[in-house]
């Protein structure tokens, strides 16, 4: 294994984590010691080629013979999972100069200073692939890393997280650490998107995969659309530099809103005589609304080209970040650049004219809109927004027509996937329809990033000698790492759970199937029978008995997004803010549908009104919840699930029919259930033949499901305490675990909950 300060180890693909694509590998601490290295030192790794990375210590349970590396590093090594690689300490040498190539979209907007900050502390060599994901090795870098992330988000959208750059030159040529003094620059002739593995080509739908037109998100000419497009200043007389309008016939998805917008512009520009015959007129002010990344700007460009109108385009967020005079000059230039017929396209108009805030720039913009629309039949104003309620009402009154771009349904997502994989090699066993079904809540830009991530994974595999075509495993991995933006920060990790993973509880599973899965999976059946689907369900029972686990399983069964609602997210001391937060949560749930909204510890979020001492904040939250649950706006494809161990403390109005109308008791597991839970958690634990889990389960009275899971874990840890090389868990280990893990259920609370359940059934 070792030879004069070097080690031969097994390359092991690391699970996605904070190290992924940051130039970091992990070794067992004993391996670091054997190499004479400390955590944070550079290590040279040789497979089919040689690269250098930062070595950190793996956890103490890691294999002593494994080198844990991500797919990008494995590609730089030229190794596959399981290949032997050679390691030896590397000298720490500061890079004088590094030259990189990358997609033209990144070269155009990422300046060398930002590029250097993103790559700071990474060790690179000529020929290496690197990502823009910053490396963070201490508290001192945290603020700088956060600032770099914000800059990249503002210039590239979320697409920067999956971009791969190539080191075409470095001084020195290998093992060079990028420092604050390193000169980092782009190669003069940057590669285009089509040249870069993992970046997406501009393409049309293949004839052999012709999708049906459906309402949904519009396909973009590049992976980033709408809110994710670069925010670099653009020449207003052009339709955004580098962004070509997709031919109208090639739009994948979004046919309904695109056709609606086309009819408006075609009538206003090309058929004014019809309006005169009817004796009316129309102003071509259009508000194009829909979730971020749904393709609103793409639709506007494509439709404008289809009706023969040139586009003069500006970004609302760009203008809002400028000084007032500079922003006003940019707006006037955009209007002056309009041809006849012409469309003034304003992306993110809520930044220019925010609701409830009269600003000089907003007032000036509103007047410009009036001037442009006054020239009937010559010009149109199309504004896009992801939040209609945030747009100034005065401006909305001038934009007489509103076109909504909805979230793509499963078929529209399939159309978009076909579009984005055009020109890419896709294995025959890949079922894009199944991938689309597993991606609820994904908009066009999310799907583009997901396809690009799949392409990066395929490229890394191909670089190491593997298959070049996109495999189903590439899409599976991309779905795990790329989450829909509508759910960012609040989604619950499902981990592939289904109801089959829930032991016992058959009656409970049937109730959840009827109340949660049927409304999400078969909404048309309820419409056909003339009834409304249940709005929600309340799970109550003692803590640790699997309420949250069951919710995850139900969501996994129905391939639904899970929006986990936290109390801190709702409560705000300022009057009106808590109710606004509730409305925002339900808006996001509708956008990401099918969605399961999970309110854990609902008794803390919605207590009985009039009993609080918080100045009425909780009362207002309850009122807002009631309004959303049975208000005027329907909750189609959204089901609300609450969980509590104190159902008596929840406001009774929430538990009436039409709201959380089904109350389901989740009891602690009986002996049979405890045995099932023990077996489920022991699935990968090497228990000795003398361990009888059924007999163990009989002894575990007052043990919750969480206690049973902890018991299995403690038994394995007991074996490890005896020997880190332990390969089996015995009955003795289980007995010691029972001594350490005590039951958490309270008999009095259990009796109260059982009486509560009995009274409701009576």
Map out the domains of the chain as residue ranges. 2-91, 94-195, 215-404, 410-483, 499-665, 671-744
Q: How many Å apart are CA 34 and CA 64, to the nearest integer?
A: 11
- Average pLDDT (495-524) is 76
Burial of 77 (0-12, 13-18, 19+ CB in 10 A): buried
Supply the pLDDT for residue 216.
32
Cβ atoms of 546 and 666 within 8 Å: the answer is: yes
Supply the pLDDT for residue 621.
84
Whole-angstrom CA distances from 321 to 287, 635, 721 are: 22, 36, 58
Edge to edge, the sheet with strand 164-171 lists 129-131, 164-171, 97-101, 183-186
For residue 506, the tally of other CB atoms under 10 A from its CB is 9
- Give the pair of three-digit tokens for residue 594: 């099918």
Pairing of strands 595-599, 176-177: unpaired
The class of domain 671-744 in CATH terms is: mainly alpha
Supply the pLDDT for residue 238.
37
Most confident of 219-233, 248-262, 648-662: 648-662
Supply the pLDDT for residue 233.
32
Q: How many Å apart are CA 28 and CA 61, to the nearest integer?
A: 8
Cβ atoms of 32 and 25 within 8 Å: the answer is: no
Residue 324 has pLDDT above 60, yes or no: yes
pLDDT band at 486 (very low <50, low <70, confident <90, very high): low
Supply the pLDDT for residue 237.
34
Residues ≥6 apart with Cβ < 8 Å to 126: 167, 168, 169, 170, 173, 174
Is the domain covering 94-195 a CATH 3.10.330.10 domain? yes
For 341-374, the pLDDT digits (tens) are 999 999 999 998 998 888 888 888 999 999 898 8
The CATH code of domain 2-91 reads 2.40.40.20
For residues 285-324, one letter each, b for 16 or more C-beta atoms within 10 angstroms of the residue's C-beta and e for the rest, the string is bbbbbbbbbbbbbbbbbbbbbbbebbbbbbbbebbbeeee
- Cα angle 509, 511, 517 (rounded to 5 degrees) comes to 80
Q: How many Å apart are CA 233 and CA 321, to the nearest integer?
A: 10
Could you tell me the pTM of the whole model? 0.55
Fold match, 410-483 / 671-744: yes
Q: How many Å apart are CA 596 and CA 589, to the nearest integer?
A: 8
Supply the pLDDT for residue 632.
58
More confident residue, 523 or 200: 523
More confident residue, 505 or 261: 261
Residue 208 has pLDDT above 60, yes or no: no
User: Which residue, among 319, 329, 343, 294, has the nearest Cα to 232 in the 3D structure?
Assistant: 319
Q: How many Å apart are CA 408 and CA 679, to the nearest integer?
A: 40
Residue 318 has pLDDT above 80, yes or no: yes
Whole-angstrom CA distances from 539 to 109, 158, 549 are: 50, 36, 12
Residue 4 has pLDDT above 70, yes or no: no
Tokens 């018991």 correspond to 711
For 710-747, the pLDDT digits (tens) are 999 999 999 999 888 888 999 999 999 999 999 888 88
pLDDT band at 200 (very low <50, low <70, confident <90, very high): very low
Q: How many Å apart are CA 605 and CA 618, to the nearest integer?
A: 7
Q: What's the helix, strand, coil split of the chain in %, to 5?
A: 45, 15, 40
More confident residue, 72 or 559: 72
- Residue 600 is given by DSSP the state T
- Cα angle 603, 608, 609 (rounded to 5 degrees) comes to 130
Supply the pLDDT for residue 17.
61
Give SS3 for 124: strand
Q: How many Å apart are CA 551 and CA 565, to the nearest integer?
A: 13
Residue 596 has pLDDT above 50, yes or no: yes
Residue 22 has pLDDT above 80, yes or no: yes
For 114-148, the pLDDT digits (tens) are 898 889 889 999 999 999 888 865 555 566 777 78
Supply the pLDDT for residue 568.
61
- Residue 692 is given by DSSP the state -
pLDDT band at 519 (very low <50, low <70, confident <90, very high): confident
Quick one: what percent of the chain has pLDDT higher than 90? 19
Quick one: what percent of the chain has pLDDT higher than 70? 85
| Fold held by 215-404 | Rossmann fold (3.40.50)
pLDDT band at 477 (very low <50, low <70, confident <90, very high): confident
Supply the pLDDT for residue 666.
86
CATH of 499-665 given 1.10.3720.10, 3.40.50.300, 3.10.310.50, 3.30.230.70: 3.40.50.300
For 263-308, the pLDDT digits (tens) are 999 998 888 888 888 888 888 999 999 888 888 998 999 999 989 8
- Residue 62 is given by DSSP the state S
For 529-553, the pLDDT digits (tens) are 888 788 888 998 888 887 878 887 8
Residue 496 has pLDDT above 70, yes or no: no
More confident residue, 68 or 249: 68
- C-alpha 325, offset from chain centre: 37
Supply the pLDDT for residue 403.
92
CA atoms within 13 A on the CB side of 684: 1
pLDDT band at 445 (very low <50, low <70, confident <90, very high): confident
The structural architecture, per CATH, of the domain 410-483 is: Orthogonal Bundle (1.10)
Supply the pLDDT for residue 42.
92
Supply the pLDDT for residue 569.
64
Tokens 């790492």 correspond to 481
Q: Which of 313-317, 491-495, 531-535, 596-600 has the lowest mean pLDDT?
A: 491-495
pLDDT band at 611 (very low <50, low <70, confident <90, very high): low
- DSSP letter string, 412-464: HHHHHHHHHTTTS-B-TT--HHHHHHT-TT--HHHHHHHHHHHHHHHHHHHHT
Supply the pLDDT for residue 215.
31
- Average pLDDT (404-420) is 85
Q: How many Å apart are CA 669 and CA 664, to the nearest integer?
A: 15
């Amino acid at each position: 294994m070792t030879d004069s300060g070097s080690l031969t180890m097994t390359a092991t693909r690391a699970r996605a984590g904070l190290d992924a694509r940051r130039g970091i590998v992990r070794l067992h601490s004993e391996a670091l010691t054997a190499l004479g290295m400390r955590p944070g030192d550079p290590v040279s790794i040789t497979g089919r080629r040689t690269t250098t990375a930062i070595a950190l210590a793996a956890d103490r349970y890691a294999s002593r013979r494994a080198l844990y590396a991500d797919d990008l590093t494995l590609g730089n090594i030229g190794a596959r999972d399981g290949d032997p690689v050679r390691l030896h300490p590397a000298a720490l040498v500061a890079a004088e100069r590094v030259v990189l190539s990358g997609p033209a979209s990144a070269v155009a907007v990422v300046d060398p200073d930002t590029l250097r900050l993103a790559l700071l502390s990474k060790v690179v060599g000529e020929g290496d692939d690197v990502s823009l994901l910053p490396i963070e090795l201490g508290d001192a870098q945290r603020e700088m890393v956060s600032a770099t992330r914000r800059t990249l988000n503002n210039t590239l959208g979320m697409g920067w997280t999956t971009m791969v750059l190539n080191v075409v030159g470095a001084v020195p040529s290998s093992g060079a650490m990028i420092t604050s003094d390193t000169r980092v620059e782009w190669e003069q002739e940057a590669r285009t998107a089509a040249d870069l593995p993992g970046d997406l080509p501009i393409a049309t739908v293949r004839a052999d995969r012709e999708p049906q037109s459906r309402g949904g998100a519009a396909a973009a000419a590049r992976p980033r659309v709408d809110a994710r497009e670069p925010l670099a200043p653009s020449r207003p007389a052009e339709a955004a530099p580098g962004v070509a309008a997709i031919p109208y016939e090639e739009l994948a998805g979004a046919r309904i809103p695109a056709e609606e917008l086309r009819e408006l512009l075609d009538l206003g520009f090309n058929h004014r005589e019809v309006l005169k015959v009817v004796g009316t007129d129309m102003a071509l002010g259009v508000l194009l609304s829909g979730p971020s990344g749904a393709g609103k700007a793409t639709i506007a460009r494509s439709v404008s080209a289809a009706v023969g109108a040139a586009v003069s385009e500006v970004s609302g967020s760009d203008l809002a970040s400028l000084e007032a005079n500079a922003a006003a000059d940019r707006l006037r230039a955009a209007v002056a650049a309009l041809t006849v017929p012409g469309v003034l396209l304003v992306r993110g108009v809520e930044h220019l004219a925010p609701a409830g805030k009269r600003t000089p720039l907003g007032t000036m913009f509103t007047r410009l809109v009036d001037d442009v629309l006054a020239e009937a039949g010559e010009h149109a104003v199309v504004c896009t927004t992801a939040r209609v309620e945030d747009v100034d009402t005065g401006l909305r009154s001038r934009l007489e027509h509103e076109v909504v771009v909805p979230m793509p349904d499963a078929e529209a997502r399939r159309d978009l996937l076909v579009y984005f994989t055009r020109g890419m090699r896709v294995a025959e066993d890949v079922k894009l329809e199944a991938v689309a079904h597993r991606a609820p809540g994904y908009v066009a830009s999310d799907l583009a990033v997901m396809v690009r991530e799949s392409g990066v994974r395929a490229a890394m595999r191909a670089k190491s000698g593997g298959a070049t075509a996109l495999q189903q495993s590439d899409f599976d991995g991309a779905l795990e790492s790329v989450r829909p933006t509508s759910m960012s920060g609040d989604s619950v990790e499902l981990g592939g759970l289904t109801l089959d993973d829930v032991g016992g509880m058959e009656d409970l599973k049937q109730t959840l199937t009827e109340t949660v899965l049927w409304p999400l999976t078969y909404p048309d059946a309820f419409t056909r029978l003339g009834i409304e689907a249940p709005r929600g369900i309340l799970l109550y029972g003692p803590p640790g008995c699997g309420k949250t686990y069951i919710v995850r399983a139900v969501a996994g069964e129905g391939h639904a997004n899970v929006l986990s609602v936290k109390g801190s997210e709702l409560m705000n001391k300022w009057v009106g803010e808590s109710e606004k937060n509730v409305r925002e949560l339900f808006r996001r749930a509708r956008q990401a549908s099918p969605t399961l909204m999970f309110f854990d510890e609902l008794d803390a979020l919605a207590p009985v009104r009039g009993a609080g001492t918080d100045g009425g904040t909780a009362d207002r939250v309850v009122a807002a919840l009631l309004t959303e649950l049975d208000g005027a706006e329907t909750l189609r494809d959204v089901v609300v699930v609450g969980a509590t161990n104190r159902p008596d403390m929840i406001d009774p109005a929430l538990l009436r029919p039409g709201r959380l109308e089904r109350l389901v008791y989740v009891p602690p597991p009986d002996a049979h259930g405890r045995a099932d839970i023990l077996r489920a958690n022991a699935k990968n634990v090497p228990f000795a033949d003398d361990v009888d889990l059924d007999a163990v389960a009989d002894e575990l009275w007052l043990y919750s499901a969480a206690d049973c899971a902890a018991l299995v874990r403690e038994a394995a840890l007991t074996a490890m305490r005896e020997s880190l090389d332990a390969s089996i868990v015995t009955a003795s280990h289980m007995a010691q675990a029972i001594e350490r893990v005590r039951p958490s259920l309270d008999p009095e609370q259990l009796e109260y909950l059982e009486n509560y359940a009995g009274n409701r059934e009576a």
